[in-house]
């Protein structure tokens, strides 16, 4: 039971804060139907218990020159544990790689990358990605447009009847 500790009000708080964390506790309190003081304590608790991991600003990537997302499926050579470490440590230091997952199946890693354009990405592959240890093959999924983008996680897994 992942979140038996969260009641309906906690969930409302998380819903609002996942959309807009710049609300004052008084504003938030009003939205969720309690008063300021208990609302503040709940927000504290959500931090302390680790439900809220961090508070960040989301920036306009296109204004910064990154017009597209590209997903790269990477095949990695059979490597020692040490070499794999080096690969994943290397990923951490490439700022254009926003996310990295290990995956099941034919390929070994999936990278979400921001890029200014395809030409830049081609250079990025040879200049940066291919230089990582063990990279054997890269298959890219080039995106054209972003139809949905949120960081808000649902508060409870649905059950299907």
Partner DNA sequence: TATGAAAAGATAATCCC
Partner DNA sequence: GGGATTATCTTTTCATA
Burial (Cβ within 10 Å: 0-12, 13-18, ≥19) of residue 46? middle
> What residues between 76 and 135 interact with a second copy by CB under 8 A?
88, 91-92, 95-105, 109-110, 114-116, 120, 123-124, 127
Residue with tokens 């830049």: 120
Q: Is 9 in the site for a second copy (CB under 8 A)?
A: no
Q: What count of other Cβ atoms lies within 10 Å of the Cβ of residue 18?
A: 15
> What residues between 30 and 59 interact with a second copy by CB under 8 A?
50-59
Q: How many residues bind a second copy (CB under 8 A)?
A: 71
Q: Is 40 in the site for DNA (CB under 7 A)?
A: yes
Q: Is 61 in the site for a second copy (CB under 8 A)?
A: yes
Dihedral angle computed from the Cα positions of residues 103, 108, 113 and 115, in that order, rounded to the nearest 10 degrees: -140
34 vs 110, which CB is nearer to a second copy?
A: 110
């Amino acid at each position: 039971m992942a979140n038996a500790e969260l009641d309906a009000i906690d969930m409302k708080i998380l819903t609002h804060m996942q959309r807009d964390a710049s609300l004052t506790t008084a504003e938030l309190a009003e939205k969720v139907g309690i008063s300021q003081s208990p609302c503040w304590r709940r927000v504290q608790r959500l931090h302390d218990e680790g439900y809220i991991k961090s508070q960040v600003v989301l920036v306009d990537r296109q204004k910064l020159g990154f017009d597209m997302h590209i997903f790269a499926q990477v095949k990695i050579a059979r490597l020692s544990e040490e070499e794999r470490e080096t690969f994943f440590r290397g990923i951490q230091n490439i700022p254009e790689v926003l996310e990295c997952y290990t995956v099941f199946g034919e390929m070994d890693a999936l990278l979400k990358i921001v890029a200014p354009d395809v030409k830049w990405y081609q250079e990025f592959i040879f200049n940066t990605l291919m230089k990582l240890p063990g990279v054997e093959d890269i298959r890219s999924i080039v995106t054209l447009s972003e139809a949905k983008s949120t960081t808000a996680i649902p508060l409870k897994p649905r059950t299907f009847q």
